[in-house]
């Protein structure tokens, strides 16, 4: 039967409960235990899928297509267990389920209340998610004292009562601030946070004290005394330069040993192997060089908006033994001031997003990378921006756009797909103006890679599986004119109906993908597409600096050899500030292809 570890947070939010849960989960997994992790979110949204990234950070997509909290990304980056829709529950989901049951009459006319009906539903969800595991790590979102999280806290209190303390463990992550003006570490916030937790019937077994310095023994014993926690179970959760140090740091402090002892596992009899994590940290500490990635995004003012993407770049640097520094560049700033900020980067990354704001900045960035021969990776909306740019400026399709931004676009090279078939064979439908939540192409789907392409070279196999989260697709009515202009369709769905990847054969490394490869990257394995992207950036940086021939290059004007196409690699002129400039030369293409409508797969 599974044991349960409940992780709560106190004093302030954003202390890193997800990272702490993931790190301990990695340690328990390294001891040979089957581990799963669950996130309970107190907001009333059914899922974070319709939330603005500025409001909630990244929306993480699981293999089964659930739109979840970004902490599930941390879980999958630290443990081998795949996450799914049963690993994230929200207040909205819980109440929705209870109300549906009440409408069906399942409660036999009873008055439906928070206790027991809501708490019973929470307990049922937790139990179902723990099936098949030795240990379920359950993280409660928010901060102790928040009114929204009270039903979840009450539910885990009841679970400890129902199952017994031998099968449950409470971990509380709390802040122990250092007051620089007085030169003192203050334990009072932690004392009050634990007092609040105990007032609702939960006594923590283990404390993780978030500090910017090691916790002195005096303060450790003081915290133990006032919180009724053994001194040996009060640990430092230090600030670190990389989160991948934490499994080793926690193990050296004995966090896993205390947790396993409380849960009835013999840590000494279960040998632990942390060599993979040690190798990850060694590579991070000893890079052979550094590349600068220019990430042209819409949500750059909140770091968590691109959490998985930032981590995937770190993972690629680990695999390539290269330091990766990300410069966040506001797409709207490019719209206003041009692409000067891209002159100093070694590659350009255009991530996903929704809505028209900043899209023309992404289009300009794609043109800069194409014409300056800078390595480029466009993901989801980033790929669509690259297609729009190519259509306008290389295929001479005046007015090319996506119907997401211009419903009456002259050349809708990106359009709303109204019907498609999921991997399980189920036909899905969507319509313009319909619900936004849960109506996208979501989750893992197989992708067929064309031979002889950079995509196939990067992945090294003909069929891959990647996760999707989008509503608009490449319009198949423009396949021929864009191919004729030089766009390579390097991957499609396995039935050949939807475009998954595009690239340019006459460019050193220019790739776009409709899926989100960042959701399947982790520190130990990396991701082949991101690794290829970073290695291309390394080559660009070396050639730009004249590393191979001793001749210094002008920034942004590297002479790069193409991969197997015989081109001399000369760069072309400045794309200029107006990436949206149109030419009447697109009339012939429109006449040949007819007025393009919405992309429709052929069944």
Q: List, by residue number, the catalytic residues.
A: 380, 516, 518
Count the Cβ atoms, other than its own, within 10 Å of residue 58: 24
- Residue 327 pairs in a beta bridge with 294
The Cα–Cα gap between 419 and 414 comes to: 15
DSSP state, 183?
Answer: T
**Nearest-CA neighbor of 383 among 307, 301, 490?**
490
Tokens of residue 205, six digits: 């077994």
Q: How many CA atoms lie within 13 A of 543 on its CB side?
A: 22
The Cα–Cα gap between 60 and 311 comes to: 13
What b-and-e string marks burial along 426-442, b requiring 16 or more CB atoms within 10 Å of the CB? eeeebeeeeeeeeebbb
CB 210 within 8 A of CB 174: yes
The Cα–Cα gap between 17 and 139 comes to: 7
**Nearest-CA neighbor of 590 among 410, 386, 401?**
410
- β-strand 35-41 against 88-90: which pairing, if any? parallel
Distances (CA, A) of 584 to 393, 463, 548, 576: 11, 40, 43, 19
Identify each DSSP E strand in 193-270 by its residue range.
Answer: 206-211, 234-238
What b-and-e string marks burial along 402-411, b requiring 16 or more CB atoms within 10 Å of the CB? bbbbeeebbb
> What angle, rounded to 10 degrees, do the helices at 528-544 and 307-320 form?
70
The Cα–Cα gap between 558 and 374 comes to: 8
Distance, C-alpha 437 to centroid of its chain: 18
The vertex-475 CA angle with 579 and 305, nearest 5°, equals 60
CB 398 within 8 A of CB 585: yes
């Amino acid at each position: 039967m599974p044991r349960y570890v409940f992780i709560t947070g106190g004093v302030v939010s954003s202390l890193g409960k997800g990272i702490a849960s993931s790190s301990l989960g990695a340690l328990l997994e390294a001891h040979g235990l089957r581990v799963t992790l669950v996130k309970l979110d107190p907001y009333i949204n059914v899922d974070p899928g319709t939330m603005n990234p500025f409001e909630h950070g990244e929306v993480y997509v699981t293999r089964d297509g659930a739109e979840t909290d970004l902490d599930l990304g941390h879980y999958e980056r630290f443990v081998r267990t795949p996450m799914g829709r049963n690993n994230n529950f929200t207040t909205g989901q819980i109440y929705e389920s209870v109300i549906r049951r009440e409408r069906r009459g399942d409660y036999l006319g009873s008055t439906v209340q928070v206790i027991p009906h809501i708490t019973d539903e929470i307990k049922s969800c937790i139990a179902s998610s723990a099936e098949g595991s030795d240990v379920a790590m359950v993280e409660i979102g928010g901060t102790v004292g928040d009114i929204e999280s009270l039903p979840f806290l009450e539910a885990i209190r009841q679970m400890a009562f129902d199952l017994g303390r031998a099968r449950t463990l409470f971990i509380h992550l709390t802040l122990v601030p250092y007051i620089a003006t007085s030169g003192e570490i203050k334990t009072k916030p932690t004392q009050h946070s634990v007092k609040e937790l105990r007032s609702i019937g939960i006594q923590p077994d283990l404390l993780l004290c978030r500090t910017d310095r090691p916790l002195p023994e005096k303060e450790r014993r003081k915290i133990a005394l006032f919180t009724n926690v053994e001194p040996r179970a009060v640990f430092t959760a230090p600030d670190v330069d990389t989160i991948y140090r934490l499994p080793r740091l926690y193990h050296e402090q004995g966090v896993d040993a205390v947790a396993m002892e409380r849960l009835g596992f013999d840590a000494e009899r279960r040998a632990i192997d942390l060599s993979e994590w040690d190798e990850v940290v060694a590579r991070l500490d000893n890079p052979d060089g550094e590349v600068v990635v220019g990430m042209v995004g819409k949500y750059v003012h909140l770091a968590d908006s691109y959490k998985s993407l930032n981590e995937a770049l770190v993972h690629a640097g680990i695999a390539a033994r290269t330091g990766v520094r990300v410069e966040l560049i506001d797409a709207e700033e490019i719209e206003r001031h041009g692409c000067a900020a891209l002159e100093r980067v070694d590659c350009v990354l255009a991530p996903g997003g929704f809505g028209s704001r900043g899209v023309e900045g992404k289009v300009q960035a794609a043109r800069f990378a194409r014409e300056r021969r800078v390595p480029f990776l466009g993901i989801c909306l980033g790929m669509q921006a690259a297609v729009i740019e190519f259509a306008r400026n290389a295929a001479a399709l005046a007015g090319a756009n996506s119907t997401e931004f211009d419903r009456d676009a002259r050349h809708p090279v990106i359009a709303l797909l109204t019907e498609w078939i999921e991997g399980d064979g189920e036909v899905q439908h969507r319509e313009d103006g319909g619900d936004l939540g849960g109506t996208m192409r979501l989750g893992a789907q197989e992708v067929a890679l064309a031979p002889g392409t950079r995509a196939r070279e990067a992945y090294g196999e003909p069929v891959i599986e990647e996760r999707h989260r989008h509503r608009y697709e490449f319009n198949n009515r423009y396949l021929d004119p864009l191919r004729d202009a030089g766009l390579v369709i390097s991957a499609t769905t396995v039935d050949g109906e939807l475009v998954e990847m595009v690239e340019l054969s006459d460019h050193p490394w220019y790739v776009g993908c409709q899926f989100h490869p960042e959701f399947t990257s982790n520190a130990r394995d990396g991701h082949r597409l991101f690794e290829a992207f970073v290695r291309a950036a390394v080559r660009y940086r070396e050639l730009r600096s004249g590393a191979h021939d001793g001749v210094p290059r002008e920034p942004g004007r590297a002479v790069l050899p193409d991969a197997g196409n015989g081109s001399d690699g000369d760069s072309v002129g400045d794309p200029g500030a107006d990436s949206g400039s149109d030419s009447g030369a697109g009339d012939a293409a429109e006449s040949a292809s007819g007025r393009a409508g919405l992309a429709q797969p052929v069944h």
